[in-house]
Structure 1
Amino acid sequence: MYAINRKTKQVIDFICGSGSKGNINKIIKTLLKLSPQGIYTDKLNIFTAVIPENLHRTFQYKTNNIERRNHTLRTHLKRLSRKTICYSKSQAMLEACFKLYAWQ
């Protein structure tokens, strides 16, 4: 899971792991330190518990940048696909690969 700036298209923060409330909360804390005007997400119900109501927006057309980036990421990094020869055995290697891709 990761967060991007909609205007600059840069990755702000990311975390490898499940989409649990604790992991999402780590990313949201980083975002709140930047004092955003709004946080746009899909309509997953866990976001309403973590993101303050005055900042949370769920417009579908506002999330198309990150959805396009997800598609490109899955295409370029085959270690994110389930049934491939190239996969990461450790979470540390997956994080290192994503860091290289995100901040190149």
Structure 2
Amino acid sequence: MDAAFDSDKRRVLSALSHGSIFLSQLLFSAGLPAALWIISDDPVVKENSKEALNFHLNIWVYSFIIGILCWLLIGWLFVIPLLIFQWVMPIFAILHSFSTPDSAFKYLFILRFL
């Protein structure tokens, strides 16, 4: 990408946007990548923030669907895989942000709303 942007700042802000999912599933945790997406001038940080925000939205949609399926007594089969997905994928994203700061991480198995 562009070498004019600070690599350390890019790493930290990208990792922070992906790691915000660990704060909670509330709006506050999605507010951090949304704010970074709006405020940052760095194109990689913007892309990582947008991807993290899409991940938040997908987790909310998946949780809602699984919650409805729990009423039908089949949703319990998907709770543990969703929790594993919710914890493992951001860890991969954070590691990717630190190892290759010049490219954005793309989550697998999500719909891109933004």
Normalising by structure 2, what TM-score? 0.27
- Larger RCO, structure (CA 8 Å, separation 6 or more): 2
The structure whose Rg is larger is 2
Q: Whose strand proportion is higher, 1 or 2?
A: 1
* Structure-1-length-normalised TM-score: 0.29
